Amino acid sequence: MAEAIGLYLPRASFVHRLHPVTKLAISGFILVAGLALPGMWSPYLLVLFGMLPLAVLSRVFRVLASRTWRIVVPFMISVFLIQGILWSGGTPLIGFGPISFKREGLQFAVASTGRILIVVSSFLWFALTTRPDMLMSALAQRGLSPSLSYLIVSSIQIVPRFQARAATILDAQRARGLEVTGSMLRRMRAVVPLVVPLILSSLIDVEERALAIEARGFNHPGPKTSFVEITQAGWEAFLQWFLVLAMAATLIFRFLSR
Cβ neighbours of 170 (radius 10 Å): 16
- Residue 46 to residue 174: CA distance in whole angstroms: 49
Give me the residues paired with residue 195 across strands.
none
Q: Binding other proteins by CB under 8 A: which of 98, 177, 221, 234?
A: 221
Name the residue nearer to other proteins (CB basis): 68 or 130.
Answer: 130
How far is C-alpha 211 from the geometric centre of its chain's CA atoms? 30
Q: Cα(73)–Cα(1) distance, rounded to whole angstroms?
A: 33
What gap in Å lies between CA 251 and CA 257, rounded to an integer?
A: 10
Q: How far is the CB of 120 from other proteins (least distance, A)?
A: 24
Residues 128/59, Cβ–Cβ less than 8 Å: no
Calculate Rg over the CA atoms of the chain. 23
Contact letters for other proteins, residues 7-46 (x by CB under 8 A): -x--------------------------------------
203 binds other proteins (CB under 8 A): no
Which of 89, 97, 143, 222 lies at the binding interface for other proteins (CB under 8 A)?
Answer: 222
Q: Are 157 and 132 contacting, i.e. CB atoms less than 8 angstroms apart?
A: yes
Q: Could you say which of 38, 177, 216, 231 contacts other proteins (CB under 8 A)?
A: 216
- Residue 114: CB partners within 8 Å, gap ≥ 6? 34, 40, 41, 42, 43, 44, 47
Q: From CA 127, how far away is CA 143, in angstroms rounded?
A: 21
Q: Verify binding: residue 143, other proteins, rule CB under 8 A.
A: no
Q: Does 183 bind other proteins (CB under 8 A)?
A: no
Site for other proteins in 227-256 (CB under 8 A): 227-229
**Alpha helices in 12-145, H assignment, sequence order:** 20-36, 42-46, 52-57, 61-86, 103-129, 132-141
Residue span 95-134 as binding mask against other proteins, x where in contact by CB under 8 A, dash where not: ------------------------------------xxx-
213 binds other proteins, rule: CB under 8 A? yes
Q: Which of 147, 163, 168, 226 touches other proteins (CB under 8 A)? A: 226
Using the rule CB under 8 A, is 224 a contact of other proteins? yes
Question: What's the min distance (Å) between Cβ of 63 and other proteins?
Answer: 18
Task: Kindly state the smallest distance separating residue 121's Cβ from other proteins, in Å.
Answer: 24
Which C-beta is closer to other proteins: that of 5 or that of 45? 5
Binding stretches for other proteins (CB under 8 A): 1-5, 8, 131-133, 136-137, 150, 153-154, 157-158, 161, 205, 208-229
